[in-house]
C-alpha cells in the first residue's frame, strides 16, 4: 500500500481492495485502526476517499461494506470513531446474518470535527463545517456548520464567525 503524500501508521490494518482508496495530500491515519474495503451482501460500491489534510485518530473503525465513504478535506476524526457504509437488512423471517446489506454510504464534507467515540451510520450526509460532540450517533442529513450531540445526534448549536 503506497500513499506517498499520506502518513499511515504501521498498525493500521487495511483489508480488502486497496485500489479503492484515494487519500489526499497530508492525510494522517493513526493506529491501531481498522479500514475494511469489502463488497458483499448484494452491494458492490466499496470506495474510501479522504481529502487533503484530514486527521484520523487511533482506534478508528472505517468499513465501506459495499458502499462509498467520502471524508472531506481538513477534517478531524477523534479516537474510537466508527463509520460504516451499510447495514444488514431487518426483514422478518430471514436470519440477520443472511439479510442483504442496505445503505448508500456516508458523505462527510470539509472542515468537519467528529469527536471521540462517535458512530456515523450508513446514509449519513454531514455537510461542511460541522462539529459532532463525543459519544454521538450520527444518521441522516446534518446541515452546514451545525454543532451536533447525542444519540441520535441532534443540533445543539451552530458555528459562527
pTM for this one?
Answer: 0.95
Quick check: is 1 in a domain?
no
52 in any annotated domain: yes
Give me the pLDDT at residue 4, please: 77
Q: Are 30 and 13 contacting, i.e. CB atoms less than 8 angstroms apart?
A: no
What is the spatial distance between Cα 77 and Cα 35, in angstroms, rounded to a whole number? Answer: 14
Which residues form the domain of 39? 7-158
The gap between the terminal CA atoms of the chain, to the nearest Å, is 40
Which three three-digit cell numbers place residue 52?
487533503
Q: Which residues contact 117 (CB under 8 A, 6 or more apart)?
A: 78, 79, 80, 81, 134, 135
Element (H, E) at 156: strand 153-158
Predicted confidence at residue 1, as pLDDT, reads 58
Report the number of distinct structural domains present in the chain: 1
Identify the DSSP state of 74: T
Residue 36 domain-assigned?
yes
Question: Is position 88 within any domain?
Answer: yes
Look at residue 3 in the predicted model and tell me its pLDDT: 78
State percent of the chain over pLDDT 70: 99
Rounded to whole angstroms, the Cα distance separating 125 from 106 reads 6
Instruction: Output the nine-digit C-alpha cell for 59.
Output: 482506534
CATH code (residue 66): 2.160.10.10
Residue 112 lies in a domain: yes
All residue ranges of the chain with pLDDT < 70 are 1-2
| Pairwise CA distance, residues 61 & 80, whole Å | 7
Amino acid at each position: 500500500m503506497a500513499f506517498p503524500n499520506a502518513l499511515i501508521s504501521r498498525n493500521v490494518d487495511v483489508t480488502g481492495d486497496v485500489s479503492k482508496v484515494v487519500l489526499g495530500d497530508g492525510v494522517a491515519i493513526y493506529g491501531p485502526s481498522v479500514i475494511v474495503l469489502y463488497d458483499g451482501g448484494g452491494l458492490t460500491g466499496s470506495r474510501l476517499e479522504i481529502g487533503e489534510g484530514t486527521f484520523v485518530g487511533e482506534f478508528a473503525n472505517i468499513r465501506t461494506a459495499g458502499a462509498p465513504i467520502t471524508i472531506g478535506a481538513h477534517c478531524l476524526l477523534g479516537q474510537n470513531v466508527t463509520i460504516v457504509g451499510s447495514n444488514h437488512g431487518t426483514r422478518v423471517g430471514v436470519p440477520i446474518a443472511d439479510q442483504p446489506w442496505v445503505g448508500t454510504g456516508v458523505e462527510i464534507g470539509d472542515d468537519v470535527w467528529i469527536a471521540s467515540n462517535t458512530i456515523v451510520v450508513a446514509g449519513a450526509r454531514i455537510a461542511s463545517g460541522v462539529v459532532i460532540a463525543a459519544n454521538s450517533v450520527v444518521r441522516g442529513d446534518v446541515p452546514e456548520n451545525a454543532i451536533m450531540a447525542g444519540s441520535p445526534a441532534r443540533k445543539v448549536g451552530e458555528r459562527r464567525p
